[in-house]
Amino acid sequence: MLLLFETPGGFALFKVKNEGKLANVEDLGKEFASPDSARKMVKLKAFDKFDNTSEALEAVAKLLEGTPSKGLRKFLKANCEGETLAVADSKLGNVIKEKLKIDCVHNNGVMELLRGVRSQFTELISGLGDQDLAPMSLGLSHSLARYKLKFSSDKVDTMIIQAIGLLDDLDKELNTYAMRVREWYGWHFPELAKIISDNILYAKSVKLMGNRINAAKLDFSEILDDDVEEKMKEDSVISMGTEVSDLDLLHIRELCDQVLSLAEYRAQLYDYLKSRMNTVAPNLTALVGELVGARLISHGGSLLNLSKQPGSTIQILGAEKALFRALKTKHATPKYGLIYHASVVGQAVPKHKGKISRSLAAKAALSIRCDALGDGQDNAYGLENRTKLEVRLRSLEGKDSSRLSGSAKGKPKIEVYDKDKKMGSGGLITPAKTYNTAADSLIGKTPTKSVTEDGEKSSKKKDKKKKKVEEEEPEKEESSKKKKKKKAEAETEVVEVAKEEKKNKKKRKHEEEEATETETPAKKKDKKDKKKTAFVWSSFRFDHLCRQFRLSIINCS
C-alpha cells in the first residue's frame, strides 16, 4: 500500500511496510513516537517537487476542490501501477479511481497514519528541515487564502460593507444627539430651534453662546448669516425660557462637542467610502452614486455575489418584505428597492419611475459585472450607461402622446383587400380599368348659352336662398316661442273638444235608439227592399263590364 501525502514543497509517496497494524487505530500512534519507529512503519518511495509558487497554488487549489492536478496525475501514473493508494479525501480517491484506474482507500486507519507521518515529516524526508518548511508553508497559505477569497489589495469590498454600515449608525446617533441638544437647551432658549434648523449650526451656536444673555455680546458671523444672527440676538432678549445653572450649561456644551465630533468623523468616513467605491466599483458609482452602490454591495454580501444577480433582482433588492407581502396577498409587486434613491430615478416623473428603475437595474447589473470580473479600472462604461439612461428619461418625458403604442396615430395602416390581386404576386387577373382623362378636357369647347344661363340662374337661386335663410333665422326663433304657447293652448282646447264629442255621441245614440223603437213595420220592409234592389243593380253592372273587357281582348287579337 502507498500513502499519498501533500507538502508545501511537493507530493510525497510513502510505502507502508506493515499494513496489519492499520487495524489497531489506537496503537498506531505509538508507532510514530520516535523517528526510528516511524521509519520501520513507512518509507519514502517518491517525491515530486513544485517548480514555483504558482504551480503549488494550482495543485493545492485543485486538491481542495477534490480533483487531481495535471502534475499529480503524471506522478501517480509513474509510481502507482498495481498498487493500492491511501488518500486523505474520499472524493479525491473516487476521481483517481475513475480517471487513473488506481484503487484508493480512505478509513480511520489511513487518517491516523497520515497524522503520524505529519508529526515525523522532517525526519522521514532527508534534506528538509523546519527552517525550510515554515516559510514555504506560510507563503503557500497566504497564496491559497488570496485565491479562495479572490483577494485584491485594491478591491476590498469588505471595507465598503463595514464603512456603509458605520455611516448609517453614525447618522442615527447624530440625529439622536442633535435632538437631545435641542430638547435640553430648549428649556432655556426655545425660540432658537425655529431660528436655526441645521443641527450642526445649532450645536455650534449653543456651544459658543452658553447662556442666552451672552448672545448680544458675541459675534456669530463665522457660524451664521447676518439675518439669522440679528434675529437670534433680538429673541434672546425677550425669550420666554427658564433660567439654567452653569452646571447644566456645562453638560449641554459637552453634548454639543460630541455632536460636532461625530459630524466631523462622519465627513471623513464619507470621503473614505467615496474613494473606496471609486476604486472597487467605479462603473457602479458613476451610475447610481456612492451611497446607493455601497448599500447594494452590502445587501448582496459582496461585489462578486452581487454580480451573479440578474437585473430584476437588483431592481427590488432591499424591498424583500414588500415583495413577499405582495406575493402573499396577490397584489402588484414593488417596482424598486434600494435603487429608488439613485439620482436618475429621483429625476423621473412618478409615472415614469418604474420604467427608469427597470432600465437602471439592467444597466447596473452590467456595470457590476464589469467591476467585479473585468480588468479595467476606469468608469467609462458606467458613464456611457448613465448618458443612455438620461437620454431615455428625456425621451419618456418629451414623448408625444400620439406616438405611444395603442394610440390611433401610432397604429399601422390596414391595407384594403383587393380580390383582383393574384395570390403571392403583384399582378392582376383582369387588366386594370383606366380612367380616360381626355374626357375631362375643355380645350376647344365653348360653353353654350343655355349652360351659362343655367349657371347664372342656379347661382342667383342659391344667393336668394341664403338671404331667405338669414332673414328667417330671427323670425324662426320668435315663431318657435309663439308655437310653444299655441301648442299649450291647443292641447287644452283638444281636451275640451274631446269631452264635448263624447257627450254628443252619447246623445245621438240615445236618439237613434228612440227612433228605431218608434218605426213601423212598413218602414222596415221598405228599407230591406231598397237594399235588395241596390245589390241586384250592382251585380248586373259588374257582369256588363266583364263582357266589354272580353270583347276588347278578342278585337285586339
Question: Tens digit of pLDDT for each residue in 416-427?
Answer: 445 444 444 444
- Please enumerate in sequence order all residues whose Cβ is within 8 A of that of 228, keeping only pairs 6 or more positions apart, or say none: 195, 196
Return the CATH number at 310.
Answer: 1.10.246.90
355 & 248 share domain: no
| Residue where a domain stops, chosen among 222, 249, 269 | 269
Residues 29 and 104 in one domain: yes
Given a cut of 60, whether residue 246 has pLDDT beyond it is yes
The packing angle between helices 246-280 and 199-209, to 10°, is 150
Given a cut of 90, whether residue 297 has pLDDT beyond it is: yes
Which are the contacts of 300, defined by CB distance < 8 A and separation ≥ 6?
306, 309, 317
Could you tell me the residue range of the domain that residue 356 belongs to? 280-399
Whether 157 maps to a domain, the answer reads no
Say if 420 falls within a structural domain.
Answer: no
Q: How far apart are CA 330 and CA 453, in angstroms?
A: 81
Residues 183 and 239 reside in one and the same domain: yes
- Does the residue 481 lie in any domain? no
Kindly report the CATH number assigned to the domain that includes residue 199: 1.10.287.4070
- Looking at residue 115, its pLDDT comes to 81
- 24 with 131, same domain: the answer is yes
Q: Which of 194, 196, 158, 200 is nearest to 177 (CA)?
A: 200
Amino acid at 554: I
Residue 548 lies in a domain: no
Pairwise CA distance, residues 33 & 46, whole Å: 23
DSSP state of 23: G
The whole-number average pLDDT for the span 166-186 is 94
Mean pLDDT of the chain: 78
Q: Phi first, then psi: what are they for 5, rounded to 5°?
A: -130, 130
Q: What is the pLDDT of residues 222-235, one digit of tens each?
A: 888 989 999 999 99
Choose one of 379, 399, 419: the last residue of a domain. Answer: 399
* Long-range contacts, 287-291 (Cβ 8 Å, 24+): 287/342, 287/344, 287/360, 287/363, 287/364, 287/367, 287/382, 287/385, 287/386, 287/389, 288/339, 288/342, 288/343, 288/344, 288/360, 288/364, 289/342, 289/343, 291/164, 291/167, 291/341
Give pLDDT tens digits for 385-398. Answer: 999 999 999 998 88
pLDDT band at residue 479 using 50, 70 and 90 as cut-offs: low
Confidence of residue 5 (pLDDT cuts 50, 70, 90): confident
The structural domain count of the chain equals 3
Given 374, 399, 424, which residue is the final one in a domain? 399
Phi then psi dihedrals of residue 14, to 5 deg: -110, 140
In the block, cell 432600465 appears at 359
38 and 176 both lie in a single domain:
no
Under the banding of pLDDT at 50, 70 and 90, the label for residue 440 is low
The CA distance from 394 to 407, in Å, is: 21
Supply the pLDDT for residue 515.
61
Residue 201: all three cell numbers together? 449650526
Between 555 and 60, the higher pLDDT residue? 60
- What backbone torsions phi and psi does residue 442 show, to the nearest 5 degrees? -115, 15
